[in-house]
Chains A and B, each alone.
Chain A
Amino acid sequence: MVDRPAVPGLEDESAAMGDRALWLVLATALACGLLFLLAVLRGGGPTGGIGTASPSPTAGSFLLADVREAPPLELIDPDARPFSLASLGGEQVLVFFGYTHCPDVCPATIGTVGKVLGAVGPRTRAIFVTIDPERDTTTWLSEYRQFLPGGFTALTGTAAQIRTAADAWGVRYARVETGTPDAYSMSHTANVYLVDAAGRLRAIFPFGTSSDAMADVVRTVAASTPVPAGTATPAPSEAAPTPMPSPTPIPAATATAGGLWPQVISTSIWAGGHSPVILALNGESGRLNDTSIQATVQLWDPGRGPVGGAVPAIAVQPPLVDRVSFVATLDIPTPGPWQLNVTAVTSRGTIQGSAAITALDPGATAALGDAAPTVHTPTVADVGGDARAITTDPAPDLRLSTTSTTDALAAHRPFVLVVDSVRFRVSPACGRALVMARYLQDRWSNVTFIHLEPFRYALISETPVLDGDIAAPPIGTAAAAWGVGGSPWGPLSMPWIFVVDGNGIIRAKEQGLVGSDDIDVILALVATGG
């Protein structure tokens, strides 16, 4: 018999048991053993967790008798902006230390905390602090954050900064080798910490605490904490519509005044004009999946003020996707940090918030809003049917190599050009864009997905051999026509993705790790002629 004790309150109902008559429970337990009895008695509740059975704890058992100032969290967010707990003055915060490659304990805890945020309302936020800064870089966290519930901020830092923060919070962690490089796991304490609106550490929840129990404590603490002077703001639902740009910029890290928490979905935002910026709009009760919302975005120079006029953010809901995104096409004059002030008119009123972005330098890459380069990307037909001459994917999807960009342009058909290499991996992201293309093309029958190898190579003894040094790989003719590999990005910046509409205009451009959300939303926009 497998010994699998239960945790009261552990979130999950993966093996929800139906209600059974008592006789069945008892009889079954005889046959199936103690474990099964426990599982049935728990009904739709927790299963198979860790710990020992004990009565459901009351709120008091989580509260700290010794109320003290919360330890510092001087780290950076996925946009590489400095973060400190003080920037959340006036809001309660749930803090959890974990790592994104953690498949089980961390997502379970994050899910629980997400439910708490949904239950207690807008004046509580959550912070996920990585204890694995080696893999959880800002680049990766900016990809990963779409999997965090609304109201979460992810933080990372140097190994030393993370260790300092963890020590201050009493968090312990250690790397556990699995025998495979990069596949190590981490063991770590998995408590959730509650910081009140006055910045004091008030409660600690052990792993497995239910969202209901946690929400009770959050409410209890909120009711007993005076909001510090100067940070009190009206509840978002009561906020009256206010004029858009205030004389002073809204602080970049959070928007507490307007009931709107815009979240940037785009992985690449470009200076130089026509850059589509994909936003998720989060209200007090979560993501606003409402296509009737009228949203506008004002670009804001954090040091100076508004730049240009407010532009509409178009509501987009790709097929088979239940989330609504908003896309504002912005002309951002120069690379660097910018702020977006977002106003959304909903059926309940007008709400506002801001988000910080970093505009990238497009360098010599084919410009957004321009006509696509007319260079011919090679197809299987061009090389006599031997796909190995034009793709280094050992098991290529030939649909990606059948149509040239020139064919798609001539047919006025939207296309997605994926400049990526499976064999010549110059970055950890290499190969991933191609995998995504294989997956996305099944969703978008009216869009052609085209793979282009970035580098020149030759087939020698049936093996692709680079026509140069992998440290400075030579860019192929077609890739060069799209401007990839040039300054300031260089040839090691693969992969790149370009989205071109039916009029042959470049509508989006992505570098490095790209979320499928990005491409889905842009294609939905292009498909509707937007």
Chain B
Amino acid sequence: MRARLAPAAALVAAVALAAACSAGSGSPSTGTLTIGGAWARPAAMGQTGAAYLVITAPAGATDALLSASSPDAALVEIHQSSMSSDGMMGMSPVDRVEIPAGSSVTFAPGGYHLMLMGLTRPLDVGGKLEIHLVFEKAGSIVVQAEVRQG
């Protein structure tokens, strides 16, 4: 599909429809990186939890998520779950997640997630979890993830 698109046409479409792209992600954008739909699973103190979100980059400004942290976890790592050819589910740390200009990357169960290691308090349904995200260009962004069942 993309291969059939002339590069110039793609550029025009990307610029002209940047607003539509952002609106479609559920996070209104005014030319800056936006984070939407952040949530985390309930978890016990000391347990390993996971948080999910959607990151949308504005048109013309590719960015990359470099790291994450939380005051309520000893360590937060960017991970990606994947299935190997023999059917084993595993996960591996990811150094950076590129957010292409004018596009969204979704962190969701079975794929990208923020792994919350060593939770220093329980995550109860209805509560919030503060997450600090560090981006290559946008710098530090703080989001409040809602704690809920998937």
Genuine A/B complex: yes
Chain A residues lying within 8 Å of B52, measured Cβ to Cβ, are 12, 14-15
Q: Is the CB of A435 within 8 A of B121?
A: yes
Residue A104 interfacial (CB < 8 Å): yes
User: Judging by beta carbons under 8 Å apart, are A435 and B120 in contact?
Assistant: yes
Interface centre among A20, A31, A435 (most CB of B within 10 A): A31
Counting chain B CB atoms within 10 Å of each CB, the highest count among A28, A40, A103, A208 belongs to: A103
Check A108 against B79 for contact (C-beta < 8 Å).
Answer: no
| A142–B10 CA distance with the chains assembled, in angstroms | 55
Instruction: Known A32-B102, A104-B91; judge A11-B45 contact (CB<8 A).
Output: no
Contacts of B68 in A (CB 8 A): none
B100 touches A103 (CB 8 A): no
Q: Which of A36, A103, A513 contacts B50 (CB 8 A)?
A: A103
Asked if B129 is at the interface of the complex by the 8 Å CB criterion, the answer is no
- Contact B106 A4, beta carbon cutoff 8 Å: yes
B69 on the A face (CB < 8 A): no
Known: A16-B26, A20-B24, A435-B121. A107 touches B44 (CB 8 A): no
Confirm or deny: A232 has a beta carbon within 8 angstroms of a beta carbon on chain B.
Answer: no
Stretch of A180-188, A329-337, A363-371, A494-502 that contacts chain B = A180-188
Chain B residue, CB-CB nearest to A439: B121
Min CB gap A170→B, angstroms: 10
Contacts of B111 in A (CB 8 A): 4, 47-50
Least Cβ–Cβ distance between B14 and chain A, in angstroms: 4
Count of inter-chain pairs, beta carbons less than 8 A: 209
| A36-B103, A190-B89 known; A48-B110 Cβ under 8 A | yes
Residues of A within 8 A of B105 (CB): 2, 4
Q: Give min CB distance, A525 to chain B, whole Å.
A: 19
CA distance A186 to B91 in the complex (A): 8
Given that A14-B54, A15-B26, A188-B88 are known contacts, is A107 also in contact with B150, CB under 8 Å in the complex?
yes
Q: Which residues of B contact A39 (CB under 8 A)?
A: 104, 106
The chain B residue sitting closest to A106, CB to CB, is: B89
Give complex CA distance A12, B111 in Å: 12
Number of interface residues of A (CB under 8 A): 70
CB distance from A255 to the nearest CB of B (A): 25
Partner of A104, one of B13, B17, B110, B149: B110
Q: What class of interface size applies to chain B in its complex with A?
A: 35 or more
Smallest CB separation, A163 vs chain B (Å): 15
Most chain A CB within a 10 A radius of its CB, from B24, B52, B82, B126: B24
Task: Please name all residues of chain B whose beta carbon is closer than 8 Å to the beta carbon of A20 when the two chains form the complex.
Answer: 24
A462, CB-defined interface residue at 8 Å: no
Asked if residues B121 and A48 are in contact (CB atoms below 8 Å), the reply is no
Contacting B at CB under 8 A, from A161-191, are 172-174, 176, 178, 183, 185-190
Question: Is there an interface contact between A102 and B48, defined as CB atoms closer than 8 Å?
Answer: yes
Q: Which of B35-80 contact A (CB under 8 A)?
A: 36-37, 39, 41-50, 52-54, 59, 79
Distance between Cα atoms of A267 and B40 in the complex (Å): 25
**Closest partner residue, chain B, to A100 (CB atom):** B47
Q: Which residue of the partner chain B has the closest CB to A189?
A: B87
Known contacts A2-B100, A14-B109; decide if A27 and B44 are in contact (CB<8 Å): no
Residues on B close to A: CB < 8 A?
Answer: 1-2, 5, 9-10, 13-14, 16-18, 20-21, 23-26, 36-37, 39, 41-50, 52-54, 59, 79, 81-84, 86-91, 93, 97-98, 100, 102-113, 115-117, 120-122, 124-126, 149-150
Interface residues in chain A, defined as those with a beta carbon under 8 Å from any beta carbon in chain B: 1-2, 4, 7, 10-12, 14-18, 20, 24-25, 27-28, 30-36, 39-40, 46-51, 100-105, 107-108, 111, 114, 143-144, 146-147, 172-174, 176, 178, 183, 185-190, 207-208, 320-322, 432, 435-436, 439, 513, 515-516
- Given A24-B20, A143-B44, A188-B90, output 6 extra A-B contacts at Cβ < 8 Å: A12-B110, A27-B17, A32-B14, A46-B108, A105-B109, A173-B88
